[in-house]
Structures are given as structure tokens and as C-alpha cells.
Amino acid sequence: MNRLQQLFENKKKDILSIYYTAGYPNLNDTLTIAEALEQAGADFMEIGFPYSDPVADGEVIQGSSKQALDQGMTLEMLFAQLKDLRKTVNIPILLMGYVNVVLQYGVENFCKKCQEVGVDGCIIPDLPMYEYEELYSECFKKHGISNIFLVTPQTSEERIRKIDDLSNAFIYLLSSAATTGKNLDVSANARAYFSRMRNMNLKNPLMIGFGISDKQTFDSANEYAAGAIIGSAFVKNLDPQDVVGSVGRFMKEFR
Amino acid sequence: MTNYFVNDKGYYGDFGGAYIPEMLYPNVEELRQQYLKVIKEESFQQEFRALLKDYVGRPSPLYLAKRLSERYGANIFLKREDLNHTGAHKINNTIGQILLAEHLGKKRIIAETGAGQHGVATATVCALRGLECVVYMGEVDIKRQAPNVARMKMLGATVVPATSGSKTLKDATNEAMRDWINNPEDTYYIIGSVVGPHPYPDMVAYFQSVISEEAKKQLAEQTGKQSPDYVLACVGGGSNAIGMFYHFIDDEQVQLIAVEAGGKGVDSGFTAATTAKGKEGVLHGSRSILMQTADGQVVEPHSVSAGLDYPGIGPQHAHLFKTGRGKYVSITDDESLDAGLRLTQLEGIIPAIESAHALAYLEYMEFKGGENVVVCLSGRGDKDMETYMKHFNL
């Protein structure tokens, strides 16, 4: 059982995960932010490795990715920055990014490195289920890496069941079909979809992401899921002059 | 025999697939399940063929260019896609896809465009069918293709500038995909080239295959021969090339030559010569060959021609390249402009700078005499007059 599976074993409600982009706002902030987030009470975090063409992302994460790349961020450098991660950070860590970067690094090499530095799972939004099953799943398993799948309001029940089978940590429930950084849709439709998901009695817990920006949206997500994920709102609040302080101030609202 | 076409998993050999985020899955899956069924229907075929004939003006002529032939010592035939309504091959595909979109009950059409030809072709069919049209276009391209921007607006389309990255075709494609993610129910994305997740490359190839379907017949009528010796076309994403190759791919006597944009030179750092500088990877939903850094970041391409200014090629092209079925070469900016001027002065045809890349490669070919060569003249040069004027001080 990796740290991520352990967390969901022990905690069933009110789980808070934070996404941020590696190498942003300053190139060497990656580990600093991880430490500050643990201090401030995050349950786990997702570290984005930047990509030049992030089609699933809205302006905020496009911007942080571009700045990180301009500052020289690479996946290789991220693994170097996380070399001593587990000396100071205990909470689960996921890496999140696009498939081409993983492909160029080499899937085997990527999984090995994740295991070495103590990464527990991955979210690769543009890695399709078929390719994951055929080409990646064995390697992920061998190195104890959980692959996280996304589900949207348009995902069919049959496909959700399949995703539940292939998942071993949690399922990432998108609040709506949208790029990142939009506001949470708490319309009747969204509530019906969250309820439908909850009532499917899936073996994996659900985390709601996309559009969670404050205490209010976090709380409404918590009515339906084990917790929620905040990305764009957190990234937007990072102050390059006072990274640790800005993490603390943001987290105060939640913890 | 090698299969050069798509298999049931959406792959061409090692290339293709549908690398898309879950948000796009239902849209792409709906298309995958429907496209073959719909386009095989008698009623679809009738309407598609009728529009190609009466609205686009097909068949486009296969013209034996006599003075060009004299220069090269071979029979140079031009497949005149430049004579199509809207001035390029792009309309073949938009006619097909708009009918499909209507069939799927979609109300809003989005598209990306580089040179603006696909944008114009999309805005045109949207006007024709009374559908809302939003075209994403790189900010840089908006400046260098002003006449096409005006045409799209006049046709009632909204032109949205893509301001991220290199502000060209790749970024316009990103923006169009983001739009589609955010509007999953009512919107249909008309991709303009043989790129994107399966089934787009196969579908666009099918709609463009009318080019080689006609050319094959016309060549036989004019020469008595079924197979040309060479077929040439320019490649950005590669839709006119696939259209031009399609019915010759399984005829291994025919040499297929795809001409990429070398920009300022393949090793200059300002190029769009994908097969020369690229590696295998994933871009815009399919596994193919693309220009990228060791870290997998997509490299910004360069070409004088907006329609070829793309860092990847369609997955079927990657397969034709890797299997050696097609020969992939490149031509620089300057060589293409010279070839454009040459065609203009020898044959009285001003070609699009994209198409001029294919023509330019004739300079490098050696003929024994009497070979039949078909070049896809994919578009006309009206949109490029400013570039020609600047380059040649006209």
C-alpha cells in the first residue's frame, strides 16, 4: 500500500489536495512549496510537470507552465529537485502532466524515478485508457505508482465502472467538462451528477476537482466526495517574493 | 503487404490513436462510432458529391503544364485544387465534415486555421448551412493573412486570435481543443488537416481522397496509363498530400514525394521540416512525429508559408515515412518563393506558397524523359501576394 492508498484508508472525508506547477513561481520553489503545504495541513498534493501545449488547462496553469518552462524547468530537473523529498515531506505526492513528456523521458525510466524519489501516483490527462492498459499499467504496478483517471459529467456508466476497476487510489471527478480554472458549477445538474457518482458505490473514493477555489466550493464538493482538489486558485495566489507566506495565507481558509 | 491505412484501434503502424483528455472522450467516441456509418449512407454520398460538383466546382482539372514539362524533361501534370471554390483543397474536407456535423445534430462549429484557407473553407460551409462558426487563428497568422481574416468575417465567422506560444497554427489548434472541452454538447470541431485524435486523420483523408480519385481517372484518360511515376505534394499537417496520395498508396509503382517546409534551412533552427528534425511523440491527440526538445516540449516551427508552419505531421504520414513508402524531403522559404514565381511566369498560375514547396522539389529531381509526374497544386496565391510583393520587390 502506498502513501496515497494509506491516506484514503485512514481518512474518508474533508480531504484537501493542492495542485501546483513545478518550477513556478521561481525555478527552485518546488520542494519549498511541498514542505509549506504539508505544514499548512494539505492532505496530499499534485505537482505539475510543465508542457508546452497543455490543452486541458485554462489560462492560469497555461501561464504557470509557460513561466516554468521559460525558467528552464524540465522533468529531469523535477526529479533532481525531489531527490530528498522524503526527508522532509510525508504526505502523498502525485505528479501531473501530459503524456508526451513522459514518453520522451521513457515510461520505464519515469516510473523508476517516481519510485526512487517517493512519488505515489500520476495523473496524465491525455493518456487514454486503452494505451494505459496495454503499455503502461504493468510498469506503473511494478513501481507502486497509482494511475489516476478523470471522470466528467459526460462519462458513461460503463466507462466509469471500467475506470473504477483500473484505479487503485481514487477517481478524479471533474466538476464539469471544462478546462482548469473555471468556477465550480453547483447547479442542479452538477448535484445530480455528483449524487449519481456517489450512488454508484464504486470501490475507489472520489475527489472533486476543477473549479474548486474557496471554502464554500470546497465544502459543497465535500458533500459528495471524500474531498476536493484545488489548482488554479492556489497557483494564482502564489507570491514569488513570499512563497511560504502566500501558501500559508491561502491554506488558512481551509485549515 | 503492409497496411498503410488505419486499423480498428485507430492506428497506422506505430502512429495514431486518440490521446485526449477524458473531457473530449464522449465527443471523439461519438464521432468514431458514427463517421463510417454516416459517410457510407447513400443520402450522405449523394449530397456530398452534389456539393463537390456544383458548389466546389469539381472535378478540378488535371492540367499538363507544357512549359514546365519542357523545363524538367518530364510530363508535369498539375492537379488544380487552386481552382476550387475558396481557392484551395481545404473545402473538400469542410463540405464533408459540415454534413457530418449536421447529421450529429451539432449547432455550433469551431475550427483552427493557419494560412486561413481552412478557416475560410469552414466559414464558407457554415454560411452555406446557416451554422454558427468560430475560427481560432494565431495572432501572427492573423497579421500575415489579413485578406483571409476579412473573408472569414464577411462570411459571418467570429475569428478568435490565439495568443499563446508561437501564436501560429499549433496554438490555434490548442485553443480550438480547449473550446471543444468547454462546449462538449452542442459543438462540432472541424479539424482542417489529417491530424488530431482518431478518427479525424482517417476521416479527413477520406474527404480529401477525391483529389487522387479524380487524378487517377484523369491521368488514364489523358495518357492511357493508370499509374503516374511520381506524385508530389506539400506537407504541413498533410491533408492535401494524403488526398493526393490516397488512391496511389497501395500502387507501389508510384513514388510518393511529400515536401515539407524547410524554412530558413533544416539546421537553421527556423524550420518546419518535421521528419528531418522530429522524433516520435504525441501532439494534438495522436502519436506521430513532431519537432520537440529532449524534454518533450514542442518546438516552435518556422515557415514563410502559414499553412505549413506546424511542428508535426499526421499519423498516416509518419507511418508512410517510417515504412519508407513515402519519400519526405524539404524545401526552403526562398526556394519555394522562386518556384512560385517560376510557375507564374511559365504557366500563368500564381500558386499558394504552400503548393510552391511541392513545385520547388522538381528542381531536385532527375528524369529520364517521358515520366508522368502529378503535382498537387493545393491552393492559389492570392492570399500570399503581400509575401511575394515583399520578396520580389513587386
Which residue in the set B181, B282, B290 is minimally distant from A56, CB to CB?
Answer: B181
What is the least distance, in Å, from the CA of B267 to any CA of chain A? 21
DSSP-derived letter for residue B307 is G
CB contact under 8 A, A159 and B25: yes
- The answer, yes or no, to whether the previous bond of B21 is cis (omega within 30 of 0) is no
Task: Give chain B's end-to-end CA distance (angstroms, integer).
Answer: 51
Q: What is the pLDDT of residue B178?
A: 95
Q: Any catalytic annotation for residue B79? A: no
CB–CB of B296 and A149 under 8 A? no
Asked if A155's CB is within 8 angstroms of B174's CB, the reply is no
Residue spans of beta strands (DSSP E) within B326-371: 326-332
- pLDDT for the residue B144: 79
- Residue A87 and residue A31: Cα distance in Å, rounded? 11
DSSP characters for B65-121? -HHHHHHHTSEEEEEEGGGSGGGBTHHHHHHHHHHHHHHTT--EEEEEESSSHHHHH
Is the Cβ pair A104, B279 closer than 8 Å?
A: yes
Identify the CATH class of A15-252. alpha beta
User: Other CB atoms closer than 10 Å to residue A101's CB: what's the count?
Assistant: 25
Q: What residues of chain A lie within 8 A of the CB of B283, using their CB? A: 53, 100
Does the global pTM surpass 0.90? yes
The one-letter amino acid code at B275 reads T
**Residue A57 annotated among the catalytic residues of the structure:** yes
DSSP state for residue B299 in the 8-state scheme: P
B245 and B256 Cβ atoms separated by less than 8 Å: yes
Length of chain B: 394
Among chain A residues, CA nearest to B290 = A100
For an interface test with B, the pick among A52, A74, A130 (most B C-beta atoms closer than 10 Å) comes out as A52
Q: Which of B17, B182, B295 sits opposite A101 (nearest CB)?
A: B295
Option in B164, B184, B284 nearest A154 (CB): B184
pLDDT greater than 80 at residue A184: no
- Print pLDDT tens along chain B (394 aa): 899 999 999 999 999 999 999 999 999 999 999 999 999 999 999 999 999 999 999 999 999 999 999 999 999 999 999 999 999 999 999 999 999 999 999 999 999 998 899 999 999 999 999 999 999 999 988 987 888 999 999 999 999 999 987 788 899 999 999 999 999 889 999 999 999 999 999 999 999 999 999 999 999 999 999 999 999 999 999 999 999 999 999 999 999 999 999 999 999 999 999 999 999 999 999 999 999 999 999 998 999 998 899 999 999 999 999 999 999 999 999 999 999 999 999 999 999 999 999 999 999 999 999 999 999 999 999 989 999 999 999 9
Q: Which helix (H) or strand (E) holds B234?
A: strand B230-235
pLDDT (0 to 100) of residue B168 = 84
- Optimal mutation site among A70, A100, A136, interface B, most CBs of chain B within 10 A: A100
Mutate to test the interface with B, among A21, A49, A53 (most CBs of B within 10 A): A53
Adjacency order of strands within the sheet including B15-16: B11-12, B15-16, B286-290, B279-283
Query: Using beta carbons and an 8 Å cutoff, which residues of A are at the interface with B?
Result: 51-56, 58, 62, 66, 69, 74-76, 98-105, 125-128, 130-131, 149-152, 154-156, 159, 174, 177-179, 182
Instruction: List all residues 6 or more positions away from A81 whose beta carbon is below 8 Å from its beta carbon.
Output: A22, A28, A30, A31
pLDDT at B185: 86
Look at the alpha carbons of B156, B158, B161, B162 in this order and tell me if their dihedral is positive or negative. negative
Residue from A74, A77, A154 whose CB has the most chain B CBs within 10 Å, to mutate: A154
The mean pLDDT value of chain A amounts to: 95
Question: For residues B116 and B113, what is the distance between their CA atoms, to the nearest angstrom?
Answer: 5
Distance CA A92, CA B305 (A): 49
First to last CA, chain A: 27
What is the chain A residue with the closest CA to B22? A150
For B219, the enclosing helix (H) or strand (E) is helix B210-223
Q: Do A53 and B182 touch (CB under 8 A)?
A: no
* Statement: residue A63 has pLDDT above 80: yes
- Strands B15-16 and A44-48, bridge-based pairing: unpaired
pLDDT digits (tens, 9 = 90+) for A87-127: 999 999 999 999 999 999 999 999 999 999 999 999 999 99
**3-state SS, residue B261:** strand
Radius of gyration over every alpha carbon of chain B, rounded to an integer in angstroms:
19
Phi-psi region of A135 (alpha: psi -120 to 50; beta: other; left: phi over 0): alpha
**Domain spans in chain A, listed from the N-terminal domain onward:** 15-252
ipTM score of complex: 0.94
How far apart CA A246 and CA B128 sit, in angstroms, is 54
Distance CA A87, CA B223 (A): 77
A252 burial type by CB count under 10 A (0-12 exposed, 13-18 middle, 19+ buried)? exposed
Write the secondary structure of chain A as one string of H (helix), E (strand) and C (coil).
CCHHHHHHHHCCCCEEEEEEECCCCCCCCHHHHHHHHHHCCCCEEEEECCCCCCCCCCHHHHHHHHHHHHCCCCHHHHHHHCCCHHHHCCCCEEEECCHHHHHHHCHHHHHHHHHHHCCCEEECCCCCHHHHHHHHHHHHHHCCCEECCEECCCCCHHHHHHHHHHCCCCEEEECCCCCCCCCCCCCHHHHHHHHHHHCCCCCCCEEEECCCCCHHHHHHHHCCCCEEEECHHHHHHCCCCCHHHHHHHHHHCCC
Contacts of A55 in chain B (CB under 8 A): 21, 174, 177-178, 181, 284
Please report how the helices B90-103 and B200-208 are oriented relative to each other, as an axis angle in degrees rounded to 10.
120
- Taking contacts as CB-CB distances below 8 angstroms, the residues of chain B near A105 are 295-296
Separation between Cα atoms, residue B33 and residue B27, nearest integer Å: 10
- Give Cβ neighbours of residue B160 (< 8 Å, ≥ 6 apart): B134, B135, B136, B137, B175
Q: In the beta sheet, which residues pair with residue B247?
A: none
User: How many A-B residue pairs are in contact by the CB < 8 A criterion?
Assistant: 107
pLDDT > 90? residue A190: no
Nearest chain B Cα distance for residue A35, angstroms: 26
Crossing angle (nearest 10°) for helices B42-51 and B25-40: 90
Among B18, B164, B294, the residue with its CB nearest the CB of A104 is: B294
Cβ pair B178:A58 closer than 8 A: yes
Measure the CA–CA gap between B36 and B199, rounded to whole angstroms.
Answer: 9
**DSSP label of B276:** H
Which residues of chain B have a CB within 8 Å of the CB of A51? 296-297
Q: Give residue A19's pLDDT.
A: 98
d(CA B331, CA B113): 22
Cell 508512410 sits on residue: B320
Are B268 and B223 contacting, i.e. CB atoms less than 8 angstroms apart?
A: no
Question: Rounded to whole angstroms, what are the CA distances from B148 to B142, B155, B279, B389?
Answer: 8, 10, 33, 17
- Checking if the pLDDT of A185 tops 70, the result is no
CB contact under 8 A, B296 and A105: yes
Q: Alpha-carbon distance B93 to B210, whole Å?
A: 10
pLDDT band for position A211 (cuts 50, 70, 90): confident
Q: What was the pLDDT predicted at A38?
A: 98
Q: Of B194, B89, B232, B87, give the one whose Cα is nearest residue B148.
A: B87
CB < 8 Å to B174, chain A: 53-55
From B280, which residue of chain A is nearest by alpha-carbon distance? A104
CB contact under 8 A, A69 and B297: yes
